[in-house]
Structure 1
Amino acid sequence: MTFGHIVGKNLKYNFGRFLSYLFVNSFVVAVLFLYGSLLFNEILARNGSFRAASAYIQAAAYAILLFSIVFVAYTGIYFVKSRSREFALYLTLGMTDRDLIRMIHIESLAIVAGSMVFGMLSGLLLSKLFYMILGRILGFTGFSYNDIYYIDYRTFLLSFGVFILVFLFNMLFTNIFIRRLSIVQMMKSSSTKGVSKSRPVVGAVAAVVCIFSTFFLHEFLARSEWARGITTNYPVLIPLLTFAVVIVSLYFVIAFGIDILRYFSKRVPAFYNRNILTFGSLSHRFFSYKVTLYIVSLLIFVAIYFMGMGISIYTYNNKTIEEFVPYDFMIETSGNMNNISPDEIKKLVGGAGGVLDTFSALKFASCQNYRNTKEGFVNYYLENYKDSMVISESEFNRHMGLHIDVKPDELLLVYNSSAKAQEPIDFDTVITIEPWREGVTHAEAFGAKSTDMDTFVRKLGNIRHLVYSREKTRSMYAPFIDSYGNIEYAGVLADVVDDKVYAELKAKTETAYLFNLKSGHGKKVFNAILDGLRKINGADESLWQSSSLVFGAKDDITNLRPIYKQERFDMAFGIGGFTFFAFSFIGFLFLLSSGIVLYYKIVTDIDEEKEQIVMLKRIGINGKECRRYLTTHLAIIFFTPFVIGAILGTVYMHAELVFTPYVGYMMSFIWIIIGVVAILDVLLYLTLRKRFFRGVEV
């Protein structure tokens, strides 16, 4: 028999394994192709929402690259180790290491070629569906499938380049594996049997560390003061190291959990004896599955987290858009910029065919808000990067149609964010009234060299200022102004004070014109406003060409672009749509990968499982008992990772969302995601259980 005959017969004998391995690698190539087509889409790159969401999309791209590298490497290593008994047999029959490596290289070339061809064809076919779904999600922004479908040459380079590099690593591992291990070691490495040594002390310590680290990360993400205090000097490094500790300790916790289960089961002899085959499997096989269980648990956790983040951003926009942008239009003046009168605005609106519904010119004075907290004396602008303004009580009541009474020694803090309005008032307040640029300059100087409240007030000199105690301060939420921003809106704080106190300030007044349209074409009216303000500001068409709005300097005309609610709505939901699609795609990818890992593990172990069933039947175990044992065994393997992943996903998503008053509403979507994952897990379990029973002949 020639070398070519051996290679051919080997391919034929292992056709099932090669086919599953080919499928896995084709899947990775297709995924890289699909996301690469989005990453390098020049049509979408011209869209403002896509550009604004580019940070999220690029972060998702890094996650997919990391996943592809780890996933292909893992499946490649497992594929080689699962065939180690076969390799040992070849070596026993006289084949040299060199011949064996040569045979594997030929097989690898066939797999690489097949994976690239089938992966690329799958990517091209699925890209149609990929962009149809994206077009459907972004339908409200004027996109359709035909408008955004685009494949760049860099997509092919990314797909092929990453896959080939990882596959070369796998081939290097194969060479080392064959050259370093003896025949006996190869025979042992293919088996999943063998009792793993119990390490209860290590497991217990790992469990405590894992639980505490998870709790600490939850509190840190939830902006808990004590957790933030620990990370003051290293705000990025400490959380990252803590997360790494969670991931590493989880590996030992899985094995420790089996120890605990077996220990307490033995305390109930009747239960233990009824399930003695399952507990025997836990000793002789399940511990060796801990790597697979660990990986699948992490994959499910990451899947739930990414899908949860995608839907959370999308639903958060839906809940908060009315808070941050309650008015159809807003024009803000600053010094001589946007210096327009109410009559001129009404003329521009009427000239564009619009009819006004409500119109209000909100008068305010620029200020800086300083707070004396238990952590120290801080500046609100530097801490939150949000503006504050001083408004008289009568002006605020007129604007909002309210009848609030503010005493001379009282301060009413009004937020246009319901989340901020729920924060406790545990601080005294110092308000300095000065033009925006001067106030920011003084705030930045204070930030560079902070001091205590009393010293700060003494050094203010002639700068007009107000001081209020926490006992005389209250807060509320009111949709009194529009916020600048694309998706992460910069909330605004209004310091509402007594009329007499406000009059004594003699502050320079600015105006925010806030109005709603009763009828007319909003976009046409907005374009008329833009053109009118460009003329007033002595600017050309290049001013405000971009619809992107970010919180910026109020003495720069480019940052005083008028706000149009529908434009903000389209921008926010465009960004949310791209983010939702990108994150959901990653989540689905990791979820699908968890199923592939389980499928790959179970299907490739059928032969060994079949041998064990034969031995069980020899000692009198009937087919029904074998099926019950295998059912329990597979259920543990399938549902343990789901429980672990769901717990981690819930904990970390709750930490991400606890800052908002809509945490209950948004967490309901997380529970729906977990429910869907559970259903899919059950369906996969039932499908593979049937395949498994048929394979082991029970």
Structure 2
Amino acid sequence: MTFSAIIRKNFIYNIKKFMSMYFVNTLIVAMLFIFGSLMFNSDVLEQVGQTTLYETIKSALLVLVLFSIVFITYSNISFLKYRGKEFGMYITLGMTTKDLIKLLFIENIGILFLSIGSGLLSGAVFGKFFYLGLNKMLPFNPVDFEVHVNSFLLSIGVFLIIFICNFIFSIFYIKRSSVIDILRSSNKKEIGKNSVVFGGVALFLFVVSAYLIPKILLNKIFKGQLYTIYIFIFLTIACPYVIIGTLIVLYKAAIKRFEKTYNNQLLLLSNLSHRFLAYKNSLYIVSLLLGVAIFFVGLTYSFYSSSEIKNDKDNPYDVMFLEENHVNNISQDEVEKALQQNGSSITQYDKLDYIDVAEFKDLENDFVLWSEGSSVVSESNFSKHMKKQYNVKPNNMISVRVHSENMDYEKPNTILSVSNEKQVKHLQSQLEGSTDSKEEKYKELQQSLKGNTFVAFDSKNIKEITEPFTNYHFTRSYMTGDILVVDDEVYETLLQAVGLDKVKTMHLIKGDISKKDFRAFVSVLSPKNGLDPSTWLEKTSHGYGANSKGDINDYRPTFKDEQLALQLESNGFIFFIMIFMGVLFTIASGVVLYYKVLTDIDEEKERIISLKRIGITFRELQRMVSRELAVTFFLPTLIGMGLGMYYIYVMFSNDIMRWTLLMKSGLVCVVFLVIQVVLYFICRRKYFSELSK
């Protein structure tokens, strides 16, 4: 038989084995092509510096490339081990190592060209559907589907580099392995030991670490010692590796006192104990892959699905704009008239005056400049605005914020100072360059401020509250959402030093206001700032530093419905990207288990033959193997979901909406569980098919 005939017969006979590698590689090429097309898309490139779209795509592509390297390499190594007996047979029949490498080269070349061809075709076809779904999330900044030559070069180039590196590894693997090594590679087990004590300690450390991480984040323990959180995060990620390897041993030790239950499960537990010890690397990898997928997809879905709730909390008023100096000078009558041109109604119109002063705080055992422009309002003005009475003594202060948090803050000593920009920078450099103690810095700062108007507040006289007094919004020029309420006399003292021309006014409006009337309002307001009436009609970006047209554009009014659309666009885009990344990680976890289970087939056949000799029927064997595979598949799934959900909880631990957000993330877990069920049945079918040969 000729060499070419051997290759042909080998390929036809093992075509099902090659399909898994072909599928993995095609998927990677298609995903690289789609994300590459986004990277070089002209619509995306036009938004660089205005939105975070390009940066998000670039980060996602980097993750995809790293994932591709690890995933294809792992698949290649597993595939080589899976074919160990096949390679050993070729060598015993007279094939040389050189012939075997030639065989691998021809196979790899075939898979390479087929994967690139079908991957690019799939990427081009499904890319259109990808963009259709993406544009549903981008109502303000739609992206047209483009096929750019750089997309082809990127996807082919990255895939070729990975493929070449893996083929070189395959050559070394074949050259360095003896016939016996190759024959045994398909069922070689990891060496390891299990210990009840070691597993118990790992479980204890995991539980303690998981309990402490949220406490540290909320400043309830280990205050000022954030390095401890990295230790506990490491333990929550590392301990499952030990727990997986000893879990069955721990379970057996726990149920030994229940003799009937223990005896009924003895055969199953004995094999699972061996399987978990041998599979712990693969099970741990699967747990991490699913944990990462659940975390990112669940987190972004929570943000996206709760956008409306968050928008309501961030924007208690429907329209807000800031009047400052000669910016946005417009009367209330003009505003109301413009907003009600087309039938919209106004139910509430509030104004809140405030001034900005420099704020110095005693933080982290040091006295630092906290803000060059903290907003200060008088107690009478704030009481009138909130329609409730606030009594603030001259040496007291109330810190008010729109956002409610669970974190425990240590209220620091605070100094409010009226200083110009030059003085603030000088004081800041003076504090940063000083090696004196915090108390000495405090005295030096008061001494330096003697020529300025300033007020000092002791930490025990500062109260923190949460009130929906304005919309939360920030730009390069101002931020609303936090304010300091002081006694009227203190406010007057600061106001005289600042000057009446420095008073700022928040215009806060509630009502049933349509987008049409809001557009009518901004077309009236923009000319008062020397702009064309059409300048502020559309808002295509938001957030700090997003607008590159100049400071005047930072004062564009905010509209609650518009903010919601922008949040949905931003959160929706990231969620859409994460769905694809999550699917990749989930498929990767299935492939890891798929290859691991199949490489164990030969040893499993020997075990089944032994069990048949002691009278166990095929139906009983089938049921037992199904249970073993189910535990092998779904235990890491549950561990991964647990880790993912736990870290979502940690991320939301300072958010009063954390339980609502966690429930939304739970829906993602249900979807991932369904995917794992499908992968389990595919693997079980393949497993039984191999066992019956």
TM-score range relative to shorter protein: 0.7 to 0.9
Is 1:300–1:645's contact at 8 Å kept on the other side of the alignment? yes
2:680 aligned residue: 685
Separation of aligned partners in 1, 2:422 and 2:670: 52
Structure 1 residue 304, shift from structure 2 partner:
0.6
Structure 1 residue 178, shift from structure 2 partner:
0.9
| Match 2:555 to one of 554, 561, 583 | 561
Task: Spell out, residue by residue over 1:111-142, the C-alpha distance to the aligned partner (whole angstroms, 9 max, x if none).
Answer: 11111122222222322332222233335x47
Separation of aligned partners in 2, 1:426 and 1:690: 62
Identity level (%): 30
1:308 aligned residue: 298
Is 2:81–2:186's contact at 8 Å kept on the other side of the alignment? yes
Structure 1 residue 514, shift from structure 2 partner:
1.3
1:658 aligns with 2:653: yes
For 1:19-418, list aligned pairs within 5 A: 19-47=19-47, 51-139=51-139, 141=140, 143=142, 148-192=144-188, 196-198=192-194, 218=214, 222-224=217-219, 229-231=224-226, 247-266=237-256, 268-315=258-305, 317-334=307-324, 336-338=325-327, 340-342=329-331, 346=335, 349=338, 357=346, 358-372=348-362, 375-381=365-371, 388-418=374-404
Structure 1 residue 660, shift from structure 2 partner:
1.1
Structure 1 residue 97, shift from structure 2 partner:
0.5
Task: Spell out, residue by residue over 1:295-319, the C-alpha distance to the aligned partner (whole angstroms, 9 max, x if none).
Answer: 1111110111111221233245433
Q: Give the unaligned 5+ runs of structure 1.
A: 233-237
Separation of aligned partners in 2, 1:121 and 1:552: 37
SS of the counterpart of 1:366? strand
Structure 1 residue 657, shift from structure 2 partner:
0.8
Report which stretch shifted further, 399-408 or 7-16. 399-408
Structure 1 residue 403, shift from structure 2 partner:
3.1
Separation of aligned partners in 1, 2:463 and 2:275: 63
Structure 1 residue 18, shift from structure 2 partner:
0.8
Task: Spell out, residue by residue over 1:211-255, the C-alpha distance to the aligned partner (whole angstroms, 9 max, x if none).
Answer: 5665665556x35375573347xxxxx877875665455433321
Report which stretch shifted further, 97-106 or 503-512. 503-512
1:642 aligned residue: 637
- Decide whether aligned partners of structure 1 residues 137 and 217 sit closer, same or farther in structure 2, where only a CA change above 3 A counts: same
Separation of aligned partners in 2, 1:73 and 1:212: 35
| Match 1:524 to one of 503, 516, 519 | 519
- Decide whether aligned partners of structure 1 residues 297 and 229 sit closer, same or farther in structure 2, where only a CA change above 3 A counts: same
Is 1:369–1:431's contact at 8 Å kept on the other side of the alignment? yes
1:668 aligns with 2:663: yes
Q: TM-score, normalised by structure 1?
A: 0.86
Is 1:610–1:695's contact at 8 Å kept on the other side of the alignment? no
Separation of aligned partners in 2, 1:13 and 1:223: 60
SS of the counterpart of 1:419? coil
Residue identity opposite 1:514 in structure 2: H
| Match 1:459 to one of 433, 440, 448 | 448
SS of the counterpart of 1:229? coil
Structure 1 residue 461, shift from structure 2 partner:
0.3
Q: TM-score, normalised by structure 2?
A: 0.86
Residue identity opposite 2:370 in structure 1: Y
Is 1:44–1:50's contact at 8 Å kept on the other side of the alignment? no
Separation of aligned partners in 1, 2:59 and 2:222: 26
Separation of aligned partners in 2, 1:355 and 1:629: 69
Separation of aligned partners in 1, 2:427 and 2:527: 34
Separation of aligned partners in 2, 1:676 and 1:544: 37
- Decide whether aligned partners of structure 1 residues 351 and 655 sit closer, same or farther in structure 2, where only a CA change above 3 A counts: closer
Structure 1 residue 495, shift from structure 2 partner:
1.4
- Decide whether aligned partners of structure 1 residues 198 and 515 sit closer, same or farther in structure 2, where only a CA change above 3 A counts: closer
Is 1:374–1:427's contact at 8 Å kept on the other side of the alignment? no
Structure 1 residue 72, shift from structure 2 partner:
0.5
Residue identity opposite 1:87 in structure 2: F
- Decide whether aligned partners of structure 1 residues 369 and 302 sit closer, same or farther in structure 2, where only a CA change above 3 A counts: same
Separation of aligned partners in 2, 1:34 and 1:175: 32
Is 2:416–2:454's contact at 8 Å kept on the other side of the alignment? yes
SS of the counterpart of 2:574? helix
Residue identity opposite 2:648 in structure 1: M
- RMSD in angstroms over aligned alpha carbons? 3.7
Task: Spell out, residue by residue over 1:650-683, the C-alpha distance to the aligned partner (whole angstroms, 9 max, x if none).
Answer: 2211111111111111111122222332343334
SS of the counterpart of 1:184? helix
1:510 aligns with 2:506: no
Separation of aligned partners in 1, 2:546 and 2:417: 20
Report which stretch shifted further, 354-363 or 253-262. 354-363
Is 1:45–1:51's contact at 8 Å kept on the other side of the alignment? no
SS of the counterpart of 2:468? coil
2:418 aligned residue: 433
Task: Spell out, residue by residue over 1:489-539, the C-alpha distance to the aligned partner (whole angstroms, 9 max, x if none).
Answer: 955322112223322332424222414365562452354255324318x99
1:476 aligns with 2:465: yes
Separation of aligned partners in 2, 1:472 and 1:212: 36
Structure 1 residue 80, shift from structure 2 partner:
0.7
- Decide whether aligned partners of structure 1 residues 606 and 121 sit closer, same or farther in structure 2, where only a CA change above 3 A counts: farther
Separation of aligned partners in 2, 1:343 and 1:196: 77
2:604 aligned residue: 609
Is 1:366–1:434's contact at 8 Å kept on the other side of the alignment? no
Is 2:214–2:653's contact at 8 Å kept on the other side of the alignment? no
Report which stretch shifted further, 526-535 or 194-203. 194-203
Residue identity opposite 1:416 in structure 2: V
Report which stretch shifted further, 55-64 or 681-690. 681-690
Separation of aligned partners in 2, 1:85 and 1:52: 51
Is 2:526–2:536's contact at 8 Å kept on the other side of the alignment? no
- Decide whether aligned partners of structure 1 residues 355 and 104 sit closer, same or farther in structure 2, where only a CA change above 3 A counts: closer
Separation of aligned partners in 1, 2:248 and 2:29: 37
Report which stretch shifted further, 614-623 or 241-250. 241-250
1:589 aligns with 2:587: no
- Decide whether aligned partners of structure 1 residues 649 and 619 sit closer, same or farther in structure 2, where only a CA change above 3 A counts: same
1:235 aligned residue: none
Q: Give the unaligned 5+ runs of structure 2.
A: none
Is 2:287–2:639's contact at 8 Å kept on the other side of the alignment? yes
> How many residues end up aligned between the 2 structures?
678
- Decide whether aligned partners of structure 1 residues 216 and 54 sit closer, same or farther in structure 2, where only a CA change above 3 A counts: farther
